Amino acid sequence: MSAKTDAFKRQVLRLAGAYLVVAISVLLALGWPLHENYLRSRVEVIEAREQGYLSIADHMVHKEFLEVAGDLGVISTSAVLTDFLDQPNPLHHQRLTLALEQVVRNYGRYVDLQVQNLQGQPLVQVERVALLQQNHLSQVAASGANPATVLRISTPVFNSRQRQAGILQLEFQISELLDAFAKVMARNPFHQAMLVGPTGEWLSPGSFLMGSAIPLAQSNFAQQYPSVWAAMSRQRTGAVQTAQGLFLFDAIHPLEFEASPLPPAAVLHHQGMTVMASQPGGYHWRSVILVPQDFLEDTPFLWRSHGPLVGVLLAILVFVSWILAERKVYANVERAREQQDAQEIAALYDQAPCGYHSLDTHGYIIRMNLTELGWLGYERAEVQNRLRLTDLLTPASAAHFKKLFTRLKVSGQLRDIALDMVRKDGSILPVLLNATAEMSPQGEFLSSRTVCVDMTEIQRLQKALERKANTDGLTGLCNRRHFFELGVRELSRATRHHRPVVVCMIDIDHFKQVNDTYGHAAGDKVLVVMARTLAQQLRDTDVLARLGGEEFAILLPDTPLEIAKEIAERLRTALADARVALDDGGLLHFTVSIGVALRHSSTTTLEQMLRSADVALYAAKTAGRNQVHIAASDGVAAKENSLFV
């Protein structure tokens, strides 16, 4: 039982595994394009969003430079500067100095403001560091932190007669810009935003919040990402996919304004680079955004957001696969069992020890089992739907069955019907049938199912038993009971036909002496010899019986008394002549006495006749034995009729 259960479980496990593999394969096949599409659209969304950030960067840089240009314009055309250039006296110097100090104080971006003479020597100078020290303020100067973040811009300045009288120079830091840039870009924690200078140097750190920050001093962007830098050198804006992720970049031209606020002669100095305001396109930065590859592929994100869902889905798939597999295996087992049952039933039907057949409404055989076919010597194809049952019966049985079949259609069953079937070789097969009708719900006959038993052996046994019951075991003659059966039948026939009937009673003389002298076995031999001798002397129609002991009776039908006398005498003589061979080689002979009685009227019974014959026999014994006596009509032995041999 346990082994069977284990095998069942193993089958279920294998099938469930196969179902699971198929289900997952189908889901992957269907889900992969969706996943790819999802990633593609995700990249598109990311690109669009990051383009927005690049625009913000562009806008911030321009705003910063616009303010610087504005400051430059305001200072260069201010009255305090013009007054100073017209009359560089201490008062004007002081007023200009105060004005420039005001600018430095108000705007944290300026590191140094100078008004120089035409030879470039400073006439008025305000340094942020000195100013802060002078005001006892803590110094927060970023000077020297990153040389790339300090820019100098200068423009010629004119006196009131519009003659160039000096140069105005501003040194400003972009650290505020970079801080603001960092803050804005940090709104999206899933990217790195950078500002890169004209020669690939970092303006802002390579990383603000995500991952490890790239040290500014150790490398520059061009060295760090040469392939991206090469693409950035070729085109103003674009995107480059690398192993680290997706780089989106855009060129920023800080000096390009829609309506140029810079004086045409303004010059920008940045790390040895000199840019005239009339050629602003020659100076540009790049804003760069790196979207890391793992964020692009989003696998962790996918797993985070869909992991539990995938887990639940997998659990459901496992559960459903198991249930389906279990049902399938159970159905297979059931089907196999049903097939086995059907085969067993077919084998039971075909190989039953009795015959089975079914008939349709016309009596045609629609099914017959192998046992019955074997009895009859036919193949199934020769019989089924080809022959009627009556074709396989003797004419008498066929006629009988036709009537019974009609009755079956009404009564629904037939019990213990004895019929004679005819084998293919012509021999007779006695059978006993029990049939049941299959009826429709409306009560119409559909078919009959019949069980047949081969009666050959039973009949043989019956006959043997009958024979044994009717026969005397020692002599093989009829016994007393059977003698009475046959005798009564003969008497009734004789009565019907008014024919004479005679009964003889025969008894061995001094049989006791035979037994006593030669033994009981010798006595038996005498009885056997006597039976054989009598049988040889009589007709087939005569009834010879041993009634018991050494007493025999004979019924002679159609025999007048005169003939009966002759027969009795012939029997007596034949017995007297008979010899019995003894075991010691000797021969024994014996005599009998016979009493004969004729039936005198139709009312005389066999018992009465036997009694009369017995009286005659007794008379014969009394008269000396070995003789025949005829019973008188009144039952007394008549001496005058006696025959003495």
Ligand X SMILES: Nc1nc2c(ncn2[C@@H]2O[C@H](COP(=O)(O)OP(=O)(O)OP(=O)(O)O)[C@@H](O)[C@H]2O)c(=O)[nH]1
Give the residue numbers marked as catalytic: 550
Measured between its terminal Cα atoms, the distance across the chain in Å is 92
Tell whether residue 589 is a contact of ligand X (CB under 6 A): no
Q: Which span (19-27, 244-252, 465-473, 521-529) binds ligand X, by CB under 6 A? A: 521-529
Angle at 87 between CA 86 and CA 89, to 5 degrees: 155
Q: Fill in the per-residue mask, 546 to 575: x = in contact with ligand X (CB under 6 A), - = not in contact.
A: ---xx-------------------------
Helix axes 90-106, 2-76, angle to 10 degrees: 170
Q: Which residue is nearest to ligand X (CB)?
A: 523
At closest approach, how far in Å is the CB of 626 from ligand X?
9
The yes or no reply on residue 506 touching ligand X (CB under 6 A) is no
Shortest reach from residue 625's CB to ligand X, in Å: 6
Burial 472-510 (b: 16+ CB within 10 A, else e): beebebbbeebbbebbeebbeebeeeeebbbbbbbbbbe
Alpha helix positions (H), 235-358: 293-297, 299-350
Told to check if 327 binds ligand X by CB under 6 A, we report no
Of 121-129, 402-410, 428-436, 507-515, the segment contacting ligand X by CB under 6 A is 507-515
**507 lies in the binding site for ligand X (CB under 6 A):** yes
- Residues 72 and 277 sit within 8 Å (Cβ to Cβ): no
**Nearest-CA neighbor of 247 among 181, 296, 202?**
296
Q: Give the residue with the Cβ less far from ligand X, 482 or 546.
A: 546
In the complex, what is the shortest distance from the CB of residue 634 to ligand X, in angstroms, rounded to a whole number?
A: 24
d(CA 139, CA 639): 185
Q: What is the H or E stretch that residue 607 is in?
A: helix 606-622
Compute how many residues bind ligand X; rule: CB under 6 A.
16
By CB under 6 A, tell whether 523 contacts ligand X. yes
Q: Kindly state whether residue 595 participates in binding ligand X, applying the rule CB under 6 A.
A: no
From candidates 127, 171, 201, 509, binder to ligand X by CB under 6 A: 509
Contact flag: residue 280 with ligand X (CB under 6 A): no
Q: Is residue 614 part of the contact set for ligand X (CB under 6 A)?
A: no
**Of the listed pieces 303-311, 348-356, 502-510, 568-576, which binds ligand X according to CB under 6 A?**
502-510
**Is residue 512 within the footprint of ligand X (CB under 6 A)?**
yes
Nearest to ligand X of 67, 524 (CB atom): 524
CB 382, min distance to ligand X, A: 57
3-state secondary structure 215-252: CCCCCCHHHHCHHHHHHHHHCCEEEEECCCEEEEEEEE
Q: Which helix (H) or strand (E) holds 67?
A: helix 2-76
Nearest to 389 by CA among 455, 326, 447: 447
Q: Nearer Cβ to ligand X, position 366 or 535?
A: 535
Give the one residue of 415, 520, 579, 589 binding ligand X; rule: CB under 6 A.
520
Q: Which two tokens stand for residue 231?
A: 């693409």
Q: Which amino acid is it at 407?
A: R
**Least distance from ligand X to the Cβ atom of residue 620, Å:** 10
Closest separation in Å from C-beta 513 to ligand X: 6
Q: Which is nearer to ligand X, 225 or 518 (CB)?
A: 518
| Cα 1 to Cα 386: distance, rounded to the nearest angstrom | 48
Residue 467 makes contact with ligand X by CB under 6 A: no
Q: If binding is defined by CB under 6 A, does position 527 make contact with ligand X?
A: yes
Q: Which stretch binds ligand X (CB under 6 A): 107-115, 193-201, 217-225, 509-517?
A: 509-517
With CA atoms as reference, report the closest residue to 630 among 25, 620, 152, 402: 620
Please say which residue, 159 or 515, places its beta carbon nearer to ligand X: 515
Cβ atoms of 254 and 65 within 8 Å: the answer is yes
Among 510, 532, 600, 611, binds ligand X (CB under 6 A): 510
The one segment of 27-35, 50-58, 229-237, 511-519 that binds ligand X by CB under 6 A: 511-519
Quote the CA–CA distance of 67 and 269 in Å, as a whole number: 17
572 token code pair: 């007596």
For ligand X, which residue of 394, 515, 608, 641 counts as binding (CB under 6 A)? Answer: 515
Paired tokens of 522: 């010798």
List residues near ligand X by CB under 6 A. 474, 507-512, 515, 520, 523-524, 527, 549-550, 621, 625
